Amino acid sequence: MRQHTLSTAQQWDREDKLATYRDEFYILENTIYMDGNSLGLLSKRAERTLLQLLDAWKTLGIDGWTEGEHPWFYLSEEVGKKMAPLVGGNENEVIATGSTTTNLHQLVATFYKPMGNKTKILADELNFPSDIYALKSQLQLKGYEPDEHLIRVASPDGRYLREDDIIAAMTEEVALIVLPAVLYRSGQVLDMEKLTKAANERNIPIGFDLCHSVGSVEHELHDWGVDFAFWCTYKHLNGGPGSVGGLFIHEKQFGKAPGLAGWFGSKKASQFDMAHTMDAATDVGAYQIGTPHVLSLAPVIGSLEMFEEIGIEAIREKSLKLTNFMLALVEQELAGAGFTIGNPVDESRGGHLLLEHAEAARICKALKQDGVIPDFRAPNGIRLAPVALYNTFEDVWYTVQKLKVIMDEKRYEQFENKRGVVA
């Protein structure tokens, strides 16, 4: 096996075509940030556009809705157009609105149409809890018992899902399918094209949660025929805590009445007619609910500029190289330390790695004390996400070296093996 050294990392950093983008971000002092799959770092461009929109409020008042560099009235649509290439959607199929869970509620309310024995929603047992809460809530609103009508495809090992198992569960009783694009723990990338093809053949609407894939993994939602998708913008897209989410609806579904109607889903020209009969937009705009959260959208504008310049293909290429390097170093430096690799080792993984260890919570605390910011996931997971836009190969090298010292010297033993309030 090839031995990787610090010189390897430094050489790759010198050759890195994206290296200059690190200077675009506020890098935490004396810290290696490996938690960009939970919250991305602030960029100077995101800061600039936030201040621009604050200034528009200050100098224009209510005229900021239609004037200034980024008129607020059209902001959700304009940001949606910028996000469209990241998910493989047409410009009129993507909009920046809501949050992950509110968008899921909108989508289920729109697409879940139980009829006869076709009453069940198909999901999986490894999905992020918020999605499951929303699905159960929507079933209850329709008068169905979640334990009976929510199908959760089982994982054979607690880490991964098998696409064939999901397809086998697409029975005649299923009215809707909601799945993650990337599993939040293991980082497994599901074969969205294969799953969508199977759902389309069975005439079952299918949608994906892209929270852990958007900005890190390539998508072709329109060409695959995905009916809908939803995501947050504060992880790999670096939009800031609570930044406005994204929503995709395939143009083949345009005209379907929004399950949760609100006035910002109106056609722009008629919205202020104030009629009590909704004149819905004819594209994805129809599925907005309320007034856009302008100041939470503002940082996303600046952040997306970098994705437009680079392209998701180059970001994915560097992301895979970073995580490949980290996997090689874990094998080289941490053999015998009790770690299990909990993520796919091939290219069916997203932008983070999962190291499993019985002392994971303690180890995360020790890493943080040593200047590395990881992410703990109960009961035994350490997620590490070297982000293509601001992490370096040298970051990866030092992260693994610090982890090696922590394990060799048992530094983690000074901490309680219990997560913090926010893990």
Is 93's pLDDT higher than 70?
A: yes
Confidence (pTM): 0.96
* pLDDT tens for each residue of 181-197: 999 999 999 999 999 99
Q: Does 131 belong to an annotated binding site?
A: yes
Specify whether 338 is located in the same domain as 300: no
Residue 31 belongs to a domain with what CATH number?
Answer: 3.90.1150.10
Specify whether 38 is located in the same domain as 58: no
Q: Does 250 belong to an annotated binding site?
A: no
Residue 418 domain-assigned (yes or no): no
Specify whether 62 is located in the same domain as 164: yes
Q: Does 129 belong to an annotated binding site?
A: yes
Assigned token pair, 40:
């991305």
Q: Can you give the pLDDT at residue 401?
A: 98
Q: Can you give the pLDDT at residue 1?
A: 55
- Region 118-130: mean pLDDT is 97
Residue 1 domain-assigned (yes or no): no
CA dihedral angle for residue 25, residue 29, residue 31, residue 36, rounded to 10 degrees: -20
**Domain endpoint, select from 277, 310, 343:** 310
Residue 56 belongs to a domain with what CATH number?
Answer: 3.40.640.10
Specify whether 258 is located in the same domain as 115: yes
Q: Does 357 belong to an annotated binding site?
A: no
* pLDDT tens for each residue of 321-342: 999 999 999 999 999 999 999 9
**Domain endpoint, select from 310, 333, 352:** 310
Residue 342 domain-assigned (yes or no): yes
Identify any residues that bridge with 123 across adjacent strands, giving them in sequence order. 152
Residue 423 domain-assigned (yes or no): no
Burial of 181 (0-12, 13-18, 19+ CB in 10 A): buried
Q: Does 209 belong to an annotated binding site?
A: yes
Residue 356 domain-assigned (yes or no): yes
Residue 168 domain-assigned (yes or no): yes
Specify whether 88 is located in the same domain as 226: yes
* pLDDT tens for each residue of 277-308: 999 999 999 999 999 999 999 999 999 999 99
Specify whether 150 is located in the same domain as 94: yes
Domains in the chain, number: 2
Q: Can you give the pLDDT at residue 3?
A: 83
Distances from the Cα of 348 to the Cαs of 57, 317, 405, in angstroms?
A: 44, 13, 30
Query: Are the C-beta atoms of residues 144 and 176 closer than 8 Å to each other?
Result: no
**Domain endpoint, select from 310, 336, 360:** 310
Residue 422 domain-assigned (yes or no): no
DSSP alpha helices (H): ranges in 290-359? 294-310, 312-333
Specify whether 203 is located in the same domain as 270: yes
Q: Does 160 belong to an annotated binding site?
A: no
* pLDDT tens for each residue of 203-249: 999 999 999 999 999 999 999 999 999 999 999 999 999 999 999 99
Indicate the DSSP class of residue 280.
B
- Answer whether the bond into residue 379 is a cis peptide, omega within 30°: yes
Strand 246-249 and strand 228-231: pairing? antiparallel
Gap between the Cα atoms of 157 and 143, Å rounded: 33
Specify whether 240 is located in the same domain as 269: yes
Residue 419 domain-assigned (yes or no): no
Q: Does 296 belong to an annotated binding site?
A: no
Specify whether 294 is located in the same domain as 316: no
Task: Show the domain range for 393.
Answer: 6-43+312-413
